[in-house]
Amino acid sequence: MKKRQSGILLHITSLPSRYGIGDFGDGAYWFADFLQKTGQSLWQILPLNPTLTVHGNSPYNSISAFAGNPLLISPDMLLQEGYIEEDDILEPPHFSDERVEYKEVSKYKMQLLKKAYHNVKGRLTEDSNFQVFVKNNAYWLNDYTLFVALKEYFNGRVWIEWPEDIRNREEEAVQRYRNLLQEPILMESFFQYLFYKQWKRLRNYCNEKGIRIMGDIPIYVHYDSVDVWSHPEIFQLNKEKRPLFVAGVPPDYFSSTGQLWGNPLYNWNYLKETGYRWWIDRIGHNLELFDLFRVDHFRGFVGYWQVRAGEKTAINGQWVKAPARDFFSKLLKHFGALPLIAEDLGVITPDVVEVIEHFGFPGMKILLFAFGDDNPAHPYLPHNYKENFIVYTGTHDNNTAVGWFRNEATPEARQRLIDYLGREVTEETVHWELIRLAMMSVARAVIIPMQDILGLDESARMNRPSTKRGNWQWRLKRDMVSDSIRERLLKMTTIYNRI
């Protein structure tokens, strides 16, 4: 964050593709070209970890903190690399190009991936690139592939409901199931190899174009994940390995009853005793994937909202301190530097601000939050910014700028925006007005959701916190991006020295 720059927030699933979901294929390279041609140097995405329909398809609620989502593998790239035949993808099902239909997409793409595996499985033992991948990633891949194979073997049951010997990872049981499930384990390893092979190629292309990829690390993992099954000691679990307390946040802007996420909380005492080994592995893994990354719910490293397991809402919780300074000091000592952005939204107390400023991590500013109060000193108003921030119109958790102006902003908030700009604002102009405010600010970086570049309404919203259905589905169509939008974005980026 040494120079002025700007970029766009668009998740991979939202990219155009004829296979029902965005992937690492042609649509991703088209978007990278769009970023370069409009002067953008940052592409922010959401987590790339596997998603499941049973978990609402949320990339923040995955079965693994390390694995990649096989649904993002490009069929076109599989064809180019000789893993499948042209007939295999000649006539895909008719998928919506506006919304991801996860159930149908998963069925189609997994059949295709299995076909690719069966076409080459006899050659995998001689494939040196595949063997190197498996060896280099064994520290997470071995447990992950076994976990996925076991989930299928036990008909999708939560790991705590598996037979006691494998639930507790008894050595004999682990070896027995590895032998029994050799085929699905090898297949899952192959899927991960394809994922990371295609991702590396796309990231290299972006870097060559002067575009840095900003990833996203969820602070927590899902209870029914390989991470909790293989490392129960780093979480707050009881003797039966069930959560004692779960994560969430107290009542806030998004919900009057708070947000009860339900993720198991970390056992920070144990993590500290082990030198934060699991977190060092996780951060190191992400440094290989991204040029920089946002840490979701950063304040949870300083103090976290603890709710007893079994509560129906997040209201009855309490703040508990975490060893933030020791943790980040150890990370910096190990890595030397951390290209980390702190997601510092929500209830931010002075101790959180002190940690962010102590380590010099960039924070976030959201323009949609700036006009709700009649307060010239509001921290989200551009004249109050400092340089070491990333300013957004909104994030994936917010309404679009147009949707906010139309449905959420009070008449008073709309008037405050008009007064702040000194000119009239309408539904047709609000997105560019907010983009201009972000671009002209002193903040070193600006990230705009693609929906706001296009001026889309609330129907294009990516996520509604505290809801479990209808999220993570919005898709971009190529014909939405007109020449006039390209020209306007490039001109604004140039005017405010973010080119």
Alpha carbon distance 457, 407 (integer Å): 10
Whether residue 438 has pLDDT greater than 70: yes
What does the pLDDT look like over 144-184, one tens digit per residue? 999 999 999 999 999 999 999 999 999 999 999 999 999 99
Q: What is the pLDDT of residue 24?
A: 98
Q: What is the pLDDT of residue 41?
A: 98
What does the pLDDT look like over 482-493, one tens digit per residue? 999 999 999 999
Burial 194-213 (b: 16+ CB within 10 A, else e): bbbbbbeebbeebeebebbb
What does the pLDDT look like over 266-317, one tens digit per residue? 999 999 999 999 999 999 999 999 999 999 999 999 999 999 999 999 999 9
**What one-letter code names the amino acid at 204?**
N
Q: What is the pLDDT of residue 127?
A: 96
Q: Pick the closest to residue 436 from 478, 494, 476, 482 (CA basis).
A: 494
Q: What is the pLDDT of residue 255?
A: 79
Looking at domain 5-70+198-495, which of 2.40.10.220, 3.20.20.80, 3.40.50.300, 2.130.10.10 is its CATH number? 3.20.20.80
Q: What is the pLDDT of residue 382?
A: 98
Q: What is the pLDDT of residue 466?
A: 76
What does the pLDDT look like over 84-112, one tens digit per residue? 999 999 999 999 999 999 999 999 999 99
Whether residue 322 has pLDDT greater than 80: yes
What does the pLDDT look like over 359-415, one tens digit per residue? 999 999 999 999 999 999 999 999 999 999 999 999 999 999 999 999 999 999 999
Q: What is the pLDDT of residue 254?
A: 65
Whether residue 252 has pLDDT greater than 90: no
DSSP line for 355-419? HHHHHT--EEEEGGGTTSS--TT-TTSGGG--SSEEEES--TTSPPHHHIIIIIS-HHHHHHHHH
What does the pLDDT look like over 439-479, one tens digit per residue? 999 999 999 999 999 999 999 999 998 788 899 999 999 99
Alpha carbon distance 28, 26 (integer Å): 5
Whether residue 189 has pLDDT greater than 90: yes
Q: Pick the closest to residue 313 from 264, 260, 241, 358 (CA basis).
A: 260
Q: What is the pLDDT of residue 468?
A: 82
**What one-letter code names the amino acid at 263?**
N
- The mean-pLDDT minimum among 21-35, 240-254, 453-467 falls in 240-254
CB atoms within 10 A of CB 91: 7
Cα-based distances in Å from 203 to 9, 37, 54, 307, 499: 15, 17, 30, 39, 20
- The mean-pLDDT minimum among 56-60, 69-73, 273-277, 464-468 falls in 464-468
The domain spans of the chain are: 5-70+198-495
Whether residue 346 has pLDDT greater than 90: no
Q: Pick the closest to residue 45 from 402, 447, 443 (CA basis).
A: 447
Mean pLDDT value across residues 416-441: 98
- Among all residues, which ones are annotated catalytic? 296, 343, 397
